[in-house]
Amino acid sequence: MTTVPAETAPAKEGMAAAVDRPDLRTGGVIARLLGGAGIGTYLRVVLFGSGARMFGLASQFVVLIMLGRVLSKTGFGEMMIAFGIYRLIGTALGVGGSLVLLYHVSRRPDDRAAEVRLHRSTALLAGTISALIALAGALASGWIAELLDKPGLAHWLVLLAPFAVFSTLLVVATGALEGRSRVSESILIGEVAPSAARIVLLPAVALLALPESAVAHVLTVSVLVPWLWASRRIWSGDVAGQRRWTRWDVQYAAKFVGATLFANQLGAIDLVVAGALFPSNVVADYAVASRIAALYSFFQIVLLKRFAPRAGQLLETGDVAALRRDTDLCRSLTIGFTALTIAGILVSAPFVLPLFGGFGGAMGFLVWLALPSFVSAFYATSDRLLIIAGKANVLLALTVSSFLVLATTPFATAPWLGPVAIPAAMILSALALNPIIAVRVRALFGIATIRFRDVGAFGLAGLAAGYHAYAGSLVSTLAVCATFAGLGAAYIAGVGRRGLREIAAGG
C-alpha cells in the first residue's frame, strides 16, 4: 500500500485550526436541521456550483444542438469519437497531475511558493506527455480510422490533437485551485469558461459558413484560454524554480492516470466501442445521450470538490469522528442530488431532444445510462476518500476491471441486446465492482458507506428503467422520473432527520 512521504506533513496546530474553523458563520437553524455546521459549506458550494453548472448545463445543450446543426449526423458521430479519444487522454493525464497538486496543496493551502513550484513542474510534465500522445494520434489517424471503418475520423483526429494538450493542462490547473478549497473558481474556469467560449464561437462558425474544421479550432480555443488564465500564477517572477516530483508523486499520479483511463468511460471509451460495433448514425444518438448523461453527476462533482480538501485536512489531524460525519453527510447529499438531477433531466429530455434534430434514439440510452450513474453515486464519497488518503491500488484494480467489462462484453452481447449492450455493461460493472470500494473504506477508516436500504433503492430504479424499456411511453417516462425524484428526496430528508436528532441530543 502507498506510503505518504514525511515531507508533505504540515504543522498539526495550523491544520487543526483550519479544521475547527466554522464552515458557515450564519448557517442558523437551516444548517443545524440539515446536519450541523458542516452542511453550511456544502450548501454554499452547492448553491454557487449549481448556478455555475446550470449555465454549463444550458450551454452544453446549446452547444450540442449547434453541433448537430453545423455537422451532418455522420460527421457529428465521427467528430464525437475523436473528441472522446482525446478527452479521455486529456482527462486522464490532467487528473493524475491535478491530484498530486490537490494532495499536497490541501495539506499546506497557504504555502504559495510551494504550490507555484509544484504546479510548474506538473504542468510541464503533463503537457509534454500529452503533446507526444496527441502527435502520435495525429500521425496514426489514418490507421485508426481504417480500424474503426470510419474514414472521416482521420480528419478529426488530426484537427483535435491540440485539444488533448490544452484540456490536460486545464485539468491540472484546477487541482491547484481545489487544493486551496477554491471550488467556485475551479468550476468557473474548468467548466463554465469552456462552455461559454463554445456557445459564443460556434454560432459564428454557422453564421460565417466556415468549414467543419472550424469546429475543432473552437473546441481547442475553449480550453486554451481558460488554461492561460488559471495558470497565471506559475508565470509569476516572484517565485523561482520548480518542485521536482518525488518517486511517490510519480507512483501516485501514474496510478490515477491509469485509473482515469479505465474509469472515464461515459463519453470516452464507450464511444470508441460504439464506433466499432454500430453505424455512425447510432453512434451519433449514443453520443448525444452520453453527453447529456454526463450531467447526471451535476451536483455530485461539486460536492466531492468540497469534500476532498476537507477530508485531507481531517486525515492530517486524525479527527476520525469528524471524518465519519463529513463522509456520511457528503454521501447522503451526493445520492440525493444525483437522483434529483436524473429525474430533472429525464423529465426534460422528451422536450429537449427534438431540438437536436434527428436524434430520437437518444431517449432510450438516457434512461439506461441513469442506472450506472445512480449506483456510482452511493460509492463516490468512498472513492474520493481513498484518493485523498493516497490509497490508489484498490481503485486502480477496480477501474481496470470495469474498463475490461465495458470494452469486451458489448461485443458478446450486442447481437442480442443491440446498442443497449453498452449501458448494460456499465450497469453490470457498477453493481459488481463498486461494493469492493465500500469494503475497503470500512476496513481502513471504520466508515460504513453502503447499507441494506440502498439495495432496495437500486432495485426500484432498475424496475422503473425496465418498465420504460418495455413500454416506451410518456407514462413510463414519468414513472422513471417519479422514482428517482422520490429516492432523491428521501436521502436528502434523511440528512435533515439526522440534524434534528443531533440538535435534540445536544439540547
Residue 499: pLDDT over 80:
no
125-182 per-position pLDDT tens digit: 999 999 999 999 899 988 988 887 788 888 899 999 999 999 999 989 888 887 777 7
Q: Which residues contact 365 (CB under 8 A, 6 or more apart)?
A: 285, 286, 289, 290, 293, 419, 420, 423
Residues 438, 52: Cα–Cα separation, whole Å: 31
Every domain of the chain and the residues it spans? 30-69+280-507, 71-263
428-471 per-position pLDDT tens digit: 888 888 888 888 888 888 877 777 788 888 888 888 888 877 77
Per-chain mean pLDDT for the chain: 77
pLDDT bucket at 45, cuts 50 / 70 / 90: low
What integer pLDDT is reported at residue 504 of this predicted model?
Answer: 44
Q: How many CB atoms lie within 10 A of CB 71?
A: 17
Q: Which residues contact 87 (CB under 8 A, 6 or more apart)?
A: 163, 164, 167, 264, 267, 268
What integer pLDDT is reported at residue 25 of this predicted model?
Answer: 38
Are the C-beta atoms of 81 and 279 separated by less than 8 Å? no
pLDDT bucket at 55, cuts 50 / 70 / 90: low
Find, among 227, 231, 223, 176, the residue nearest to 195 by Cα: 223
430-441 per-position pLDDT tens digit: 888 888 888 888
What integer pLDDT is reported at residue 56 of this predicted model?
Answer: 60
Find, among 286, 287, 290, the residue nearest to 345 by Cα: 290
The stretch 85-92 carries a mean pLDDT of: 83
The stretch 66-81 carries a mean pLDDT of: 76
User: CA separation (Å) from 427 to 6, 230, 381?
Assistant: 40, 36, 19
